[in-house]
Amino acid sequence: MTSNWGLVGGAIAVTFSLVFLDMAAGQTTTEQQLQCYACGMPRVHPENDILGSYGVKKYNHSCQFMHDETLRLGLSEPPNAFLRSCPVGVKSCFGAFGFYDYRDTDPENDLKVEFLGCSEAKYAHSYGCDREKQNVDVRDKEGKKTQVEIDMNLCFCSENLCNDPNGELLGQSGSAPLTLSSSAAAAAVTVAAVIASWRSRP
């Protein structure tokens, strides 16, 4: 009887040890979350990542604000306020750039948009950029649907802070071509939404 209780006690101890190791492994995964620069997407809010972090983290602001802050602080790379720890399992960072030509002689009417962040996919994207023009439906000031051509550049990489806007990947014109994924389509929709609100301005 004593020997059986010894076996049961040993089995329980081994089980607790395995659970503890699993928990420790989970903590290691959390500590090793991919970090990406993030900006330009208001719905990706620091408060949704860590309650009470807004103010210290500002990656829900525009990328233009990030660039202004970088210059104001005299930094060569974006400040920590625009650094995001991606959700567990995310393997890649991205940078998306959109350009809309208003088709007139005033370049001030043209629109340039930029988004940086964590890819939503739980697999590593191929390193490189894909540049192409996309036709997207938007509504004009009168609410009529119209199609505009957006010049899109979408880049992916899979190392910490690899989507630095002045870094190797995003500072160049693009390398290995990628097929347009759902993330690219989402970026195009976001760009379209920005353009729609911009075109409906008074």
User: H/E element holding 116?
Assistant: strand 111-118
Residue matched to tokens 């604000």: 65
Q: What is the pTM of this model?
A: 0.67
- Structure confidence at residue 179 (pLDDT): 35
d(CA 59, CA 83): 7
- Structure confidence at residue 52 (pLDDT): 93
Q: Which of 78, 81, 20, 90 is nearest to 46 (CA)?
A: 81
What single string gives the DSSP state of each residue in 33-72?
--EEE-BS-TTS-HHHHSTT-BTTB-TTS-HHHHHHHHHH
- Structure confidence at residue 102 (pLDDT): 72
Q: Consecutive sets of 10 residues in the chain, 202 residues long: mean pLDDT of each?
A: 44 36 41 89 93 95 95 95 96 90 73 88 91 74 78 92 92 43 46 46 44
- Structure confidence at residue 71 (pLDDT): 96
- Structure confidence at residue 201 (pLDDT): 43
